[in-house]
Structure formats: structure tokens, C-alpha cells
Structure 1
């Protein structure tokens, strides 16, 4: 299974579309990379995107292409298709401590349908993600409604996922997991310069929720290193809830600032907070520059420890660093350039977009088990990563 998740072309599109809607709603006539509208509910604009993404960090490289196509029919229906590929190579610190590096390919396919009825937009999509040891299918449905003079929007969503988990080198190993996600969102044009929003997301997971390759370590004086490993043991249910607020403010000189804050908690004892602040600045009519800073903080799961006393010390035991106490800081910069064509031409406009993110993670209670030091005295782990996204878009 892929050890990290990068945004797909559609996810990147949605993020910048939100910012674009802010500026349009406030009367800003700009040609950003992604276009939306707030005069009324509208179908997504016809377009084609080609993306290349790359991630390098913690001994792992992930890269690959993505292609998104969208076509509207009779002004009421929009159909889309997305193909996304991750090629993963290397090994994270968890794997390096217990196994050798590996390479795998994940392929994801999504088809979607949007239906517009007056001020109501209905959306549905189906996604299949496949790799040599993991198969995931998910179905999404959502509805959004504009009201109060199109200054307010409320949205509801539901998704259902079915996962089949395997393990390389063990064809007899097969486990299943079911996932459900409920979402509620509200956005409001508060003033001529400000848009605010609020979102709630609840996720319910059931089944095999472990990563079959991750292990916990326990004291073992019979070994040279003083410890051994045994497979993690997780509960077979998990529920989580996240609340977020966001604000977007239009500045007098055609730029905008935005920010959002998010809190998260789940039944495994993990609590997390996330804060992001960004700035968007247009240059002339064709260029858009953006910078942002994001801070993330998380408390560990109830059954997480870096080092256990014995292999069956508790009913549930985890050592995945993503379930530990840690902080993350991400700084990003992006630049976009757009060409406008004649509205009577086959292609209306095109754009290129470049984004680079630098990520730094520091773990408070996860130690580097590969260090040649006495057990329990290894240095605390930390790493940095670089994420690169380059994509081109054509509107038709």
C-alpha cells in the first residue's frame, strides 16, 4: 500500500476553485487557474488536465501522472473521468527497521456525474484504486444548494468504501474493511470582502484497519539489539470527527488572504489540530502567485508505544509513527500562467501550474530503531519531504 497520499488532479482543482469563487463573489474579475462562480449553482467547467506529481521523503519516492477529462451535456449534466498513478519505491523508517525496500504501483480510476437543477447541484462518483496488495472501491454522493440570494451555500455528502487488504508474499492473506464518511458544509458571503465557511466530517471504519507490514517492537534480551518485532494489533472499529472553519478576505489591490483551522478526534484517542494561512497575488492579467504555511499537531493513539515490555502486553498495540505524538510544518509556493483564446475557438483558454511544498515532521515519542544505540535511548525521529506538482489545463 502507498505510504503517503498525494492530491489528485481533481483535489487540487477543488482547492483552487474555492479560492477562485471567493474572488469572483467579491467582484474580482481575474483569470485564475481554476474557475467557479457564485451567481448561482453551476456545472463544473469543461476542461482537460494533465498532472505530474512527485514526493520524496523518509527514504520513499512516489511519483506518477494523472489525467482528468470533463464534458458537459445540454447544460444540465457534467461527466468526468480521472486516471491517476502512484509509483512507490524505497522504504520508510518503519519498514527499514523490519524489512527491505520495495516497489509497487497504485492505479486509481474515477468516473463522476454532476446534475444541475436550478440552484441545486447533485454529484456522484465511483473510484477504484488497485495495487498488488490492496484493492479499494468507493462510491460518493453529494448535494449542494444555493439560497438567500445565492450568498449562502449548504452541502451534504456521503461516501461508502470497500477495501480488500492483502500482503506481498502471502497469497493466503486477505482481509476486508468498510468505510463510511458523512459531510456537512456551509459557506456564506459575509461582506463585500469576506467569505466564511464551516464544515463537519464524520468517518466510521470497520474491519481490518491495520497495515499488515507494520510491527511493534518489544524488549527481548536474547537478541543482540535488545528488542524484537511482532505484528501490530488494532481495534476493528474506528470513528472520527473533524470540524473546520475557513475565511477568505479580498484585499483592495486585487489580492486575497485565506485561512482555515481544523480540529480532529477519534475513538482511538488521537486528537489533532491544523492551522493554515495563505496569500494569493495576481500579476497583470495572466499570472497568479500563491504562498501558504500550514502547522499540524497530533497526540498519540491510546494504544501506541515506541517500545513494549513483551509481545502480548496489551490487547491492542501500535508503533506506526503516524499514530504517535508529532508536529508537522508545511510551506508551499505556487505559480500559474494562463492564456486566453477566442470564445469562438474550440479551446477557450489554457493554463500551466507549478507547486512546490516543503514538509518537516518531528516525532515526540517515536525513536529511530535503526540507530546503533542502547534500546530505548535511540534518537527521536524526524524527516523532511518535498512535494512537486506540475500540471497543464485546457478549457473547451
Structure 2
């Protein structure tokens, strides 16, 4: 499964663990259905989140999340056969409030047939200057086991460390700005054991060999996010983020989002987001010969590409006597339409290679839809 197809975008997050400074998160429950469909891949499933405060000092939470995956992507069609799999993720954590400081710890475990992951996270946040400024620090470590279906003896390890720092400031009564920085250190087996590159053999035909990635990867990301409250209860949110890693990839994304209340129960949302990146230094759609260099990649996520997303959403505040047990309950629906365009990854189906020639196939592109439907209840 492509681990990059995970849409999770949270405004004003600490990037490792949500750490709410000086105020514990509210007691709440969320039941979510998520769906991704595009490029021959379908990912959907449920998620349940429960959070409860204890003595106004501690907040504990637990999460259960499932992905059901059906894949007939271009990579699968050209290197294997369509498949289905299931990924189950469980996690939990605790936030502890002391004065103007919040300390957080979390643990997450993810299991699928050929990949297991465990992540432990720590975070702390502190308010300053009359709660106008919040400083957040975070650290997490992930330990993964990479396996290969059909090859029981194959087992490799990977480790991921994340360090983050965030600065959030209330500039005016209507404007909040957040600055975030993150450094990630990846070590171990970092490529996909199923994926191959293609090259020209001595006869001008096509040959394939396994991808080979470096054993380390360092990356840095910087983001600025802002939210401006408009006089009529609406708000505008904006984000700019830049990413760079030791593999030669440089990426930028920008987003603007508008939230508009209607009457007392509705909140509508519209957004547009753009993303672009350069290719990894060891990527090529077609290598000139076998073992052309020390490291080899043809994963489309390592290529030069861009995408643009348009999103709409609505939240409805339920007011009903039979929900009197809850302080508040909402029904939420969000939909994103995303267009991906690849600058140097080609649609190398056999019929395209025969018609256009090897290395001259049409460039790959596809559209995807992301749907999130969830019910939230506060108590």
C-alpha cells in the first residue's frame, strides 16, 4: 500500500501530538468514515476516537482506525496483480495539565499483512505573556518492520525520529499566527520491497530490477499558518509550508480556507490547496542500463509532480431533546477533489510502450476524491 496516500491536515497542530496549552481538550467522541478513490486505488474504513478528562488535570484518549485497501494502480498493473489488504491502527494517549503547561504522551500501533509500525510520542506546551503566546515542543520515535508477502524470510527494520517546535501567537483579537518547524530522521529499510525500476537492456528492450534506496533520509519542514476572524463570525485560514530532504526533494504547498456560519446550526467550508515537488536525485523513469547508479528509484512519489485540491465541507449542530445527555453533537461531511500531474513518470502499460515506444509513453495523471463523514459528540 502507498503510505503517502494519507490525507490528514490539521490546522495549528504541533505535528507530533496535539498539545492544547493551558486547557485540556474537551470530553468527546468521534465516529468517522473515510474514503479515498483515485488512480486505481480505493481506501476506506471507519475510525472511532474517545476522549475523557479526569479531575480537570488529565485527559486520556483512545483511537481505533481501519483501512480497507483495494489496489489496481499503475504500479500494481505493471509490476504485479491487483490486491486487497487491511490495515488496523490502534492508539492512545494522555495529556497532563499543570498550571500553564501541558505534557502529552501517545502510543500508536499499526498492523497489516506486510508492515508493522509502533510509534511513541512526547510533547509539551507552555503559555506565556497572559496566554498570548504558546510554545510547543514535540518528539516521536517510530519503529517499523517491513515484510514481503510470499517471502516469509524477508524482514527489514526502519526507524523514524521526529523533532518539532511550534510558536503560536495571538496578534490581535481577530488574528492568530502559528509558526512550526519539524526535522525528521529516517534510518533503515526505506523503500518498497515490491517495487522495481526499468532500464534499457543491451538489445534495446526493457529490463527491470529492484529499487535501491539510501539507508538514511533527513528532512526539514517549515510552515506558517494563520486564522483571521471576520466580523460576521466567519473566518479565513491560510497556510504555507516548505519541505526539503537529503534525497534532493524540495516541496511547497499553499492552502486557503474559508469558513462561513449560517443561522445557528450550520458551518460551511471551502478550500483550495496546491502542492509541488522536485524529484529525488536517484529517481528516473527509465534508466539507461542495469545498475546505472548506486541508488535507483521509480516510485512516482519520488518523481517531480504537482497536485491541486478543491474542497467543500459542512458541519451541522444537532439540537434535539433525545440528545440531552450530550452538551453538543455535530454531523460533518467533507469532500476533496484532487488532480495529480506527474512531470517525469510515464504511463508504462504494455500497450502504451508498444504504441509510443519505451520511454515515450504518455505522462501519468489521475484524479482522486476524498470523503470524510463523521459524527462528534461532547459530554
State how far apart, in whole Å, the 2-side matches of 1:58 and 1:381 are: 10
Distance of aligned partners of 1:58 and 1:37 in 2 relative to their CA distance in 1, 3 Å threshold: closer
- Partner in structure 1 of residue 60 of structure 2: 79
Once the two structures are TM-superposed, the CA of residue 246 in structure 1 deviates from its matched residue by 1.2
Could you tell me which runs of 5 or more consecutive residues in structure 1 were left unpaired when the two chains were aligned.
Answer: 20-35
State the distance in 1 between where 2:320 and 2:57 align: 25
Residue 92 of structure 2 corresponds to residue 111 of structure 1: yes
Offset at 1:252? 1.4
Show the 5 A alignment for 1:178-327: 178-220=159-201, 222=203, 226-327=205-306
Measured in 2, the distance between the counterparts of 1:377 and 1:113 equals: 54
Map 1:1-396 → 2, pairs under 5 A: 1-7=1-7, 14-15=10-11, 18=12, 41-220=22-201, 222=203, 226-340=205-319, 345-370=324-349, 371=352, 372=354, 373-396=356-379
Q: Is the 8 A contact 2:42 2:69 kept in 1?
A: yes
Post-superposition CA distance 1:353-381 (Å, at most 9, x none): 00000000101111111124210110011
Q: Is the 8 A contact 2:19 2:104 kept in 1?
A: no
Specify whether residues 289 and 384 from structure 1 end up closer, same or farther in structure 2 by C-alpha distance, changes over 3 A only: same
Q: Distance in 1 between matches of 2:324 and 2:117?
A: 40
1:61 Cα deviation (Å)? 0.5
**Equivalents in 2 of 1:206, 1:47: separation in Å?**
37
C-alpha distance in structure 2 between counterparts of 1:279 and 1:179, whole Å: 35
Native 8 Å contact 1:341 1:349 kept in 2: no
How many Å separate the matches in 1 of 2:19 and 2:265?
19
Does the Cα contact within 8 Å between 2:19 and 2:125 map onto a contact in 1?
no
Q: Secondary structure at the match of 1:185?
A: strand
TM-score (norm. length: structure 1): 0.90
Q: Which residue of 2 aligns with 1:29?
A: none
Distance 1:151 1:201, change over 3 A: same
CA distance in 1 between partners of 2:87 and 2:368 (Å): 20
Instruction: State how far apart, in whole Å, the 2-side matches of 1:222 and 1:66 are.
Output: 52
User: What RMSD, in angstroms, separates the aligned Cα atoms of the two structures?
Assistant: 1.9
The corresponding residue for 1:27 is: none
Number of aligned residues:
370
Q: Hey, what's the Cα distance between the residues in 1 that align with 2:206 and 2:201?
A: 4
**Counterparts of 2:182 and 2:3 in 1: how far apart (Å)?**
23
Structure 1 pair 361–5 and aligned structure 2 pair: CA distance change class (3 A): closer
Instruction: For residues 89-130 of structure 1, give each alpha carbon's deviation from its aligned partner in whole angstroms, at most 9, with x where no partner exists.
Output: 122212211111111100000011010011111111000000
Secondary structure at 2:76's aligned position in 1?
A: helix
Q: CA deviation at 1:284?
A: 1.3
Q: Where does the alignment leave 5 or more consecutive residues of structure 2 unmatched?
A: none
Shift of 1:220: 2.6
Greater mean deviation of Cα atoms: 87-96 or 303-312: 87-96
Give the whole-Å Cα distance in 1 for the aligned partners of 2:140 and 2:228.
Answer: 31
Question: Does the CA contact (< 8 Å) of 1:50 and 1:65 recur in 2?
Answer: yes
Runs of 4+ with deviation above 2 angstroms: 1-7, 220-223, 339-342
